[in-house]
Amino acid sequence: MKNYKIAIIKGDGIGPEIVDEAVKVLDAVSAKEDFELNYEEYLMGGAAYDVKGVPLPDETVEGCLNSDAVLFGAIGGEKWDKLPRELRPESGLLRLRKELGVFANLRPTQVFDELVDASTIKPEVLKGVDLFVVRELTGGIYFGEPRAKEENRAYNTMVYTKDEIRRIAKIGFESAMKRRKNLCSVDKANVLEVSQLWRETVEEVALDYPEVSLSHMYVDNAAMQLIRNPRQFDVILTGNIFGDILSDAASMISGSIGLLASASVGGKVGLFEPIHGSAPDIAGQGISNPIATILSAAMMLRFALGEVKAADRIEKAVKNVLKDGYRTKDLSSLGAKEVCSTSEIGSIIADYVAKI
């Protein structure tokens, strides 16, 4: 029997309760697919600061690096907002990504037929949407030097090397090969030299993937097209700041941030997490939606462990649970047969996983 070591970081706010449900589902699917998951819990974020005085203890970094994958809930909250920047929960997450060496953020957006009315966008625009954003995570303007804030001016630097572009482009094309073989590279090559290098390098990498249809789109047009006609997209490949904005825009297509998973990969160990925050205002009430974390666990099985059948089983279970009318409070107005607590929806999905 195959055995995997999983680092668990529950984090702050609703993090512990949503991760608990993902583990419940993982246990159900591992029993059916004949592999074993061994979990070790570690601290990060505000919870780590309260105990250790830092947002990312060294033992968490070491534990994650010695694992096959990291499953993470959420961090942050007003309690820690006034700390110096280096001690805030978010700084712990940025450092963990750096320590793990992850450089590609993967965000799928799929519209479930049963929830097509959840978005503010017309159902006829959304039906059948299934897109995948590949965002470069460790370069670009967020990390470029020099950067400074002076009394009367401030500046940042947008930098990409050819090697950085090439490695993220390969992940984009590999993703497209596993899907519908269409890749749209998003840049601003009409005004930015860094985007001109981006486009040139993506076109060079495309030569190794003749089966993939490559197109280019300026980021402002891409933002408009995501809302106007999101069905046109299969895989979207883009840089850090553009990907940050476009992936959040894409999240509105699904109508609920509580449904959207993500993966950060490409380095030593992959990091898998829901895209939503820690929602401290509802923590402990049993009303948070764990589906995004459960789907992040499915991504972990698919991309980190190679357990594709197990990932498929979880994703099918989630779809069937929604089809049968089970909803958490955030989705209760959308054809709910039964409104479930956080724990109840996790148990129902685990049961469906076992029956598939």
For the chain (356 residues), the mean pLDDT of every run of 10, in chain order, is: 97 98 98 97 98 98 98 96 94 93 95 88 92 95 94 97 98 96 98 98 98 98 96 97 91 84 96 95 96 98 96 97 96 93 98 95
User: So what's the pLDDT on residue 251?
Assistant: 82
Catalytic residue among 20, 27, 68, 244: 244
Separation in Å, CA 183 to CA 4, 131, 151, 173, 180: 32, 10, 43, 7, 9
Summarize the chain as % helix, strand, coil (round to 5).
45, 20, 30
Per the annotation, the verdict on 244 as an active-site residue is yes
**Which two tokens mark 47?**
């919870």
- Cα 179 to the chain's mean position, in Å? 18
Annotated catalytic residue 81:
no
Query: Active site includes 188?
Result: yes
What predicted TM-score, i.e. pTM, was given to this entire model? 0.92
Confirm if 242 and 189 have CB atoms less than 8 A apart.
no
12 a catalytic residue: no
Rg (CA), the chain: 20
Q: Is 220 a catalytic residue?
A: yes
| Given 142, 170, 218, 312, the catalytic residue | 142
Q: Which of 50, 117, 208, 220 is catalytic?
A: 220
Query: Which position among 10, 24, 160, 188 bears the catalytic label?
Result: 188
Cβ atoms of 328 and 345 within 8 Å: the answer is yes
- Each residue of 125-138: b (16+ CB within 10 Å) or e? bbeebebbbbbbbb
Contacts of 280 (CB under 8 A, 6+ apart): 12, 13, 14, 76, 77, 78, 79
Catalytic residue among 218, 248, 312, 319: 248
Whole-number pLDDT of residue 246: 93
What whole-number distance in Å separates Cα of residue 50 and Cα of residue 55? 9
Q: How far is residue 131's CA from residue 176's CA, in Å, rounded to a whole number?
A: 10
Domains of the chain by start residue, with CATH: 1-110+255-356 (3.40.718.10), 119-253 (3.40.718.10)
Q: What pLDDT was estimated at residue 252?
A: 83
